[in-house]
Amino acid sequence: MANPYAKLPRWVDIGLLPAVNVIVGFLVAGLVVVFLGENPWEALKLLVGGALGSGRGLGSTLYFMTSFTFTGLAVAVAFHAGLFNIGGEGQAYIGGLGVALACLALDPYVPWWITFPFAILMGAAFGAAWAAVPAYLQAKRGSHIVITTIMFNFIAASLMVYLLVNWLKPPSSMDPSTRLFSDGGMVPTLRAIWTMFGARLSSPPVNITFFLALASAFGVWLLIWRTKLGYEIRAMGLNPTAAHYAGISTTKITIVTMLISGALAGMLALNTVMGNVGKLTVDFVGGAGFVGIAVALMGRSHPVGVLLAALLFGILYQGGSVLSFQMPAISRDMIIVIQALVILFAGALENLFRPALAAMFAKPPQAVKPAGA
Amino acid sequence: MDSVIILSVLDSTLRLSTPLLLACLAGLYAERSGVFDIGIEGKMLFAAFGAGVAATYFQASGVGEWAGLVAAILVGVLAALLHGFASISMRGNQIVSGVAINFLAIGLTALLAKAWYAEGGKTPQLPNEARFQQITLPFADVVQDVPVLGDIYSGLLSGHSLLVYVAFAAVPVTWWVLYRTRFGLRLRAVGENPAAVDTAGISVVQLRYSAVMICGVLSGIAGAYLAIAQSANFAPNMTAGKGFIALAALIFAKWKPVPALGACLLFGFLEAVAIPLQSQPLFGVKVPSQFINALPYVLTVVLLAGFIGKAIPPKAGGVPYVKER
């Protein structure tokens, strides 16, 4: 198929164009604020102040960032293989089951640092297992992974409500959630580090899972750009036919990529279930799986980009609650609007400004040809 | 179960199938033209909001329900045009565009409703005059004493809102448009092989935009049904996944209108029996309602896996068309 767009210099293609797209998304969000009769500049100041202006705010921001890093990486890894994993929400939900089972089984007997590795394994394994079926169906039976992962999100939601209500809930409780984990099932928060920065308020929810998220981002970078598997994943993402012709098993790569993606999504529960809430609850994922789509698109599927985008969405989530408190006209739904606008402009409309930028920056054709690139 | 329960379950099956059917046919037009649309959920939600707002605004003038319907269709078409612009003109990723529209709908409708009405994201409760009310079919009161047939006609088929009949009438209309008109032939062709359609001198872009706009109209009616026929106001996220069930039904129906009716009735029936089954065991086994709720999705996955026939989407679906120069 003909490529309708002129080739842009590298820095424009991976730097300027995505930045323009995201900025336009935020400008449109600003217009929504104006439409609601508020000052967008004031709103932005409240939002950023609420997210970064206090120790507690920053702690919550980093807590959200941790969650979005996991789901963003999950979507990003799949993107590299040309797969669109919309199922992060369901995979994270089922991952929570794995984490909770590990905690419930071990927390009376051992300290948290023994439970934690088991919880990581269980969360990742359960998340991966939930991605395995759509992966297998895509690889072997040709059913579209977007549709199957959407369906699996809904199936996960029903399954988890069923399990929580009928099996996991303590018999005496009316609340559809597990019992509270004891200390052996809770990872410590970063309060100790926090007091160094002079925070006085109660412990913010960011916990040591934050470092696991950073390590996962580094791991994904290693995987994608420094291993044979990563090379095969990228090759398949660029051109499945060519990859197949080169002797890469697209069946294997599809399944392995989705297992990694599901495992990353499943690890989200470490941050929320084990790091903050201390029990498995209904709908604890709360849309973080979908935020991962925006994060991966905005971060251009690169781990560094994902971390930055996750931080931005962390700021939005934390700052958004503060903002809605101060400016009642701007409710927390504004966050979802911004998320949608980022997905729209950084994803679906990514070519909107390409012709304009091409007119400004495109190399003259004769300069490109001899280079052979 | 006695006949009264059966009749009431079938009655709610019709009611619950209606939004699915409208949304499913909406998706059928878009996807048959080669534009994947997972944003039907969002379009319905936008439309439901538009219906709620317009019906509230115009309720005093006595045309609330019609204003609501028109607004819903307008909003649905606007959202569809956004999807069309992203996926046809800008050649963006159609899945990503659908996801964006879904979230835009969830966020924006709740945000605006909370800011405008301060009722926690709902639009104000509408009086019955500003909603689509139940229509009694002709002679329904005359034949209601006739055994069986009278029950079916007066108890089941009569007494629904206009939009229910519109939804069911849309099935034969869609069949006719798709298989008996020039537009339908071209629509099916552009979803399979746009290059061939282009070679024949027919505009791919124009065809796809028309399909996407029909999709917007039908999603709009579906949204209006939710807000001003089934309920009496808009509530946040009131579509609650119906757009995705409709998508599942579309796959289940293999992108064909008459099977779409069957699939939507089946999924509507599952929704209708989930509630009575919570209290009443089936053949001595208590079926968890979550199981029934998940059944449409499970069935669709099983179908997609190729265990019940094979669901093959339109060949050019999801691929933006680039004209060779």
Looking at residue A256, what is its pLDDT? 97
Does a structural domain hold residue A319? Answer: no
Enumerate residues 6+ apart whose C-beta is below 8 A from A112: A183, A184, A185, A186, A187, A188
- Top pLDDT among A76 and B130 is at A76
Q: Which residue has the higher pLDDT, B42 or B7?
A: B42
Is A365 contained in some domain? no
Higher model confidence: residue A200 or residue A262? A262
A2 in a structural domain: no
Q: Is the Cβ of B302 closer than 8 Å to some Cβ of chain A?
A: no
Q: Which residue of A has its CA nearest to B294?
A: A155
- Residue A370 scores a pLDDT above 50: no
Residue A4: the pLDDT is: 61
Q: What is the mean pLDDT of residues A214-231?
A: 97
Chain-chain contact of B96 with A147 (C-beta, under 8 angstroms) = no
Give the number of domains in chain A: 1
| A363 confidence band (pLDDT: 50, 70, 90) | low
Closest of A273, A165, A281 to residue A209, by C-alpha: A273
pTM of the entire structure?
Answer: 0.90
Buried b (16+ CB within 10 A) or exposed e, A322-342: bbbeebebbbbbbbbbbbbbb
Look at A119-123, A291-295, B153-157 and tell me which has the smallest mean pLDDT: B153-157
CA dihedral A267, A269, A272, A275 (to 10 degrees): -70
User: Is the pLDDT confidence value at B197 over 90?
Assistant: yes
* Contact of A318 with A61, CB cutoff 8 Å: yes
Contact B305 A137 (CB under 8 A): yes
Q: Which one of A333, A341, A350 would you mutate to disrupt binding with B, by most B Cβ within 10 Å of its Cβ?
A: A333
Chain A nearest C-alpha distance from B181 (Å): 30
Query: Where residue B190 falls among pLDDT bands split at 50, 70, 90?
Result: very high
- A-chain residues within 8 Å CB-CB of B103? 290, 336-337, 339-340, 343
Residue of higher predicted confidence among A337 and B155:
A337
Measured between CA atoms, the residue of chain A closest to residue B325 is: A2
pLDDT of A368? 47
Q: How far apart are CA A96 and CA A73, in angstroms?
A: 17
Query: What is the residue extent of each domain of chain B?
Result: 3-304
Band of residue A198 on the pLDDT scale cut at 50, 70, 90: low
Helices (H) and strands (E) in chain A, counts: 18, 0
Band (B144; pLDDT cuts 50, 70, 90): confident
Average pLDDT over residues B130-151: 81
Nearest by CB to residue B107, choosing from A3, A297, A336, is: A336
The pLDDT value given to residue B136:
82
pLDDT over 80 (residue B168): yes
Average pLDDT, chain A: 89
pLDDT digits (tens, 9 = 90+) for B91-126: 988 999 999 999 999 999 999 999 999 888 899 999
In chain A, what residues touch B311 (CB-CB under 8 Å)? Answer: 143
Q: Judge whether A297 lies within some domain.
A: yes
- List the single range of A165-169, A348-352, B61-65, B275-279 with lowest mean pLDDT: B275-279
Judged by CB atoms closer than 8 Å, whether chains meet at A2 and B306 is answered as no
Closest chain B residue to the Cα of A140, Cα to Cα: B305
Predicted local confidence at residue A372, as pLDDT: 41
Residues of B in contact with A21 (CB under 8 A): none
In chain B, the percentage of residues whose pLDDT exceeds 70 is 97
Residue A3: pLDDT band with limits 50, 70, 90:
low
Tell me the chain A residues in contact with residue B300 when contact means C-beta distances shorter than 8 Å. 147, 151
For residue B178, give the nearest of B73, B319, B30 by alpha carbon.
B30
**A181 falls in which pLDDT band (50, 70, 90)?**
very high
Contacts of A163 (CB under 8 A, 6+ apart): A97
Partner-chain residue, chosen from A158, A341, A347, that has the shortest CB–CB distance to B96: A347
Restricting to B residues 251-280, those with a Cβ less than 8 Å away from any Cβ of A are 251
What is the model's pLDDT at position A173? 85
Section A125-151 average pLDDT:
92
Percent of chain B with pLDDT over 90: 63
Percent of chain A with pLDDT over 70: 92
Q: Which two tokens stand for residue A239?
A: 């051109």
**pLDDT tens string B260-290:** 999 999 999 988 888 777 777 667 677 788 8
Give me the domain span that covers residue A132.
Answer: 66-307
Q: Which residues of B touch A166 (CB under 8 A)?
A: 288
B108 and A340 within 8 Å at the Cβ level: the answer is yes
| Listed range (A283-292, B134-143, B156-165, B291-300) with the worst mean pLDDT | B134-143
- Looking at residue B141, what is its pLDDT? 76
- The ipTM value here is 0.91
Q: Is pLDDT of B225 > 90?
A: yes
- Residue A242 inside a domain? The answer is yes
Distances (CA, A) of B304 to A139, B54, B266: 12, 40, 17
CATH class of residue range B3-304: mainly alpha
- Taking the C-alpha atoms of residue A227 and residue A221, their distance in angstroms, rounded to an integer, is 9
Task: Give the tens place of pLDDT for each residue, A33-76.
Answer: 999 989 999 999 999 999 998 888 888 999 999 999 999 999 99
Say whether pLDDT at A357 is over 80: yes
Give the distance from residue B113's alpha carbon to the nearest chain A alpha carbon, in angstroms. 10
Name the residue among A181, A182, A203 with its Cα closest to residue A193.
A203
Please report how many Cα atoms fall inside a 13 Å half-sphere around the Cα of residue A306, on the Cβ side: 29
**pLDDT for res A140:** 87
A117 or B293, which is more confident? Answer: A117
- Answer whether residue A134 is part of any domain: yes
Q: Is residue A1 part of a domain?
A: no
| Closest CA of chain A from B45, distance in Å | 14
Does B107 touch chain A if contact means CB atoms closer than 8 Å? Answer: yes
The secondary structure of residue A207, as a DSSP letter, is B
